[in-house]
Amino acid sequence: MGKKPTLILGIESSCDETAAAILKDGKILANKVAGQAVHTAYGGVVPELASRAHQSHIVPVVSEALKEAGIEPGELDAIAYTRGPGLMGSLLVGSSFAKSLSLALGIPLIPVNHMHGHIASHFIENDLAFPFLCLTVSGGHTQIVRVDSFTEMQVLGETTDDAAGEAFDKAAKILGLPYPGGPEVDKLAESGNENAFSFSHPRVPGLDYSFSGLKTSFLYFVRKLSAHEVQERRHDICASYRKAIIDVLMEKLIRATEETGIKNVGIAGGVAANKGLRRRMEAERMARGWKVSIPAFQYCTDNAAMIAMAGYYLYREGKTGSQEEAAKARYEL
């Protein structure tokens, strides 16, 4: 008789996506995400509305994941959930649900750091050897992480102010594009000239980042143009701004590979869905002889498969949690 497979339910609710996934021995059986259109009218995520939407989505999303995976709740071995970082009200919905279900089923809980989850997106269908460097770029974080195993990692550098995703989203807002702006800027940039305009690059020591200056210079740049000029040149403006962000991200990532001697490199997080950044990673791979891992689009933006995957490896190492652990809005990796 073979060993019984390990079935993990993953739950993600850190921001404005309610997500559930089921893994069987580290392979995805189901991966469900419910977005929250309610924020579009406000041009950004409204925390109170996000919590309420999670509250109404969580039960149907988990039920759908179980149904798609074709398993009964009683077959689950453990529940992995996002403990933080994120919006407190949103985290409380996912963590309370996970805790109740774990009590009801009598199975362990696995608290997962959301940033660890993003890194675990590389374990879904890529096989980058350890150690590797991960540039995690999301709406709230920008980090260069040295990853030594499925569960051991260390932050080498991070943003001192805004995240790369925020830099995209704020520029989109200045241009009057709908929220979330990152994908909109990326779309316009695809048919623009990235050398049309230049934006000054920040100077930050070591492997840290800063994006607030870039965002401000974008604001002043756009203010100097007439509404007509902005409309006419929006493709070139987006392409040039996207290039500036990518240049900043890559400069430190390249430095990190040189300082550590590690040439296995991945990108993760929502901004890793950016077409320009994905192409640049491919170009650097060719130029520098890197081994590169770029997760599929659906595993870059927030999802529960990555949380379940991080949880699966923690579970294998016996790193489970308890009912006492509280959700954490700020949670260091």
Cβ proximity to ligand KG4, 102 vs 136, nearer residue: 136
121 binds, among Zn ion, ligand KG4, none (CB under 5 to 8 A by kind): none
Cβ proximity to ligand KG4, 108 vs 242, nearer residue: 242
Cβ proximity to Zn ion, 87 vs 109, nearer residue: 87
Please, are residues 110 and 151 in contact by the beta-carbon 8 Å criterion? no
Phi, psi torsion values for 16, nearest 5 degrees = -120, 20
Residues in contact with ligand KG4 by the rule CB under 6 A: 15, 138-140, 165, 168-169, 180-183, 186, 269-271, 273-274, 301-302
85 binds, among ligand KG4, Zn ion, none (CB under 5 to 8 A by kind): none
Cβ proximity to ligand KG4, 61 vs 273, nearer residue: 273
For residue 29, the surrounding DSSP H or E stretch is: strand 27-34
Please, are residues 160 and 293 in contact by the beta-carbon 8 Å criterion? no
Q: How far apart are the first and last CA of the chain?
A: 39
111 binds, among ligand KG4, Zn ion, none (CB under 5 to 8 A by kind): none
Report, in Å, the least distance between residue 311 CB and Zn ion. 15
- Residue for token digits 């689950």? 76
Please, are residues 24 and 66 in contact by the beta-carbon 8 Å criterion? no
Report, in Å, the least distance between residue 212 CB and ligand KG4. 15
Helix, strand, coil percentages in the chain from 3-state DSSP, rounded to 5: 50, 20, 35
Cα separation of 171 and 121, whole Å?
27
Report, in Å, the least distance between residue 169 CB and ligand KG4. 5
Cβ proximity to Zn ion, 15 vs 222, nearer residue: 15
Residues in contact with Zn ion by the rule CB under 5 A: 138, 302
Report, in Å, the least distance between residue 182 CB and ligand KG4. 2
Amino acid at 8: I
Cβ proximity to ligand KG4, 157 vs 165, nearer residue: 165
274 binds, among ligand KG4, Zn ion, none (CB under 5 to 8 A by kind): ligand KG4
273 binds, among ligand KG4, Zn ion, none (CB under 5 to 8 A by kind): ligand KG4
Bridge partners of 84, per DSSP, are 113
Phi, psi torsion values for 260, nearest 5 degrees = -95, -20
Q: What is each CA distance from 68 to 64, 65, 238, in whole angstroms?
A: 6, 5, 39
Report, in Å, the least distance between residue 173 CB and Zn ion. 19
